Amino acid sequence: MLEKRQLVPQEQSIDLDYFIYCLEAVDDIETVTVTEAQENLRQLATKYGVASIYKTCDTIEGLEDSLNALVLDDHNFKDYEIIYFMIAGEGNSICLNGYYYSLQEIAEIFEGRLTGKVLHFSNAKVLDLDTEEAQYFLDITGAKGISGYGNEYNGITSSNLDKAFFYLFKEDSNMLDVVEELHKRHYNVCKLLDFRLYY
């Protein structure tokens, strides 16, 4: 009974108007393991009151199904401000089980269905878009912004900076103010990982 009482305040502190939707690429969705991403999302909920939904995918069809379930079936979709991708890849593409898909292809799959969302990529993938590529993605999907990092993983994960970014978004929905505050508070890490925002 005592343990239940201790959990109640934490649950009440979670802001149910604000969610992160995390999609992580794995080798096989049938293999069940607790990943670093899941642990980070748990910390985000308990420390910062940011709730999240976590899904895995191992194919482009799985990615499409997961995002379609969110966009079409989840009546709380408007509450998800950030879609958090933990997917490997290169500048303008993501990699699922050895196959590369350009962000243009992803944009066309979700044409007009990501309105007002910020897509945030962990540094499992370098995000390097030119102005035209970024604008095309934003125009086609309706997304508010795409953020991520210009520097590769190289043993330094972006997870702590990701958590700070998500927490600041909970406090302030103005994307540019959030990025400015993130740089003020975590300048060295932003610089080291080369935090980027396309909007």
pTM for this model (two decimals): 0.85
- What does the pLDDT average to over 37-45? 89
Give the span between the Cα atoms of 87 and 81, in whole angstroms: 19
Please give the pLDDT value at position 144.
Answer: 94
Those residues whose C-beta lies under 8 Å from the C-beta of residue 15, and which sit 6 or more positions away, are: 49, 50, 51, 170
- What does the pLDDT average to over 139-148? 96
Question: How many CB atoms within 10 Å of residue 198?
Answer: 18
Please give the pLDDT value at position 8.
Answer: 29
- What does the pLDDT average to over 151-164? 89
Those residues whose C-beta lies under 8 Å from the C-beta of residue 41, and which sit 6 or more positions away, are: 20, 22, 52, 54
Q: How far apart are the first and last CA of the chain?
A: 49
Any idea which fold 15-198 has?
Answer: Rossmann fold (3.40.50)
90 pLDDT more than 90: no
Domain coordinates in residue numbering, the chain: 15-198
Please give the pLDDT value at position 13.
Answer: 42
Confidence of residue 143 (pLDDT cuts 50, 70, 90): very high
User: What mean pLDDT, rounded, does the chain reach?
Assistant: 85
16 pLDDT more than 60: no
Question: How many CB atoms within 10 Å of residue 182?
Answer: 21
3-state secondary structure of 38: helix
Question: Of 72-76, 91-95, 109-113, which range is least confident?
Answer: 72-76
pLDDT (tens digit, 9 = 90+) per residue, 97-142?
Answer: 899 999 999 999 989 989 889 999 999 999 999 999 999 999 999 9
Structure tokens at 95: 């990699």
- What does the pLDDT average to over 19-46? 88
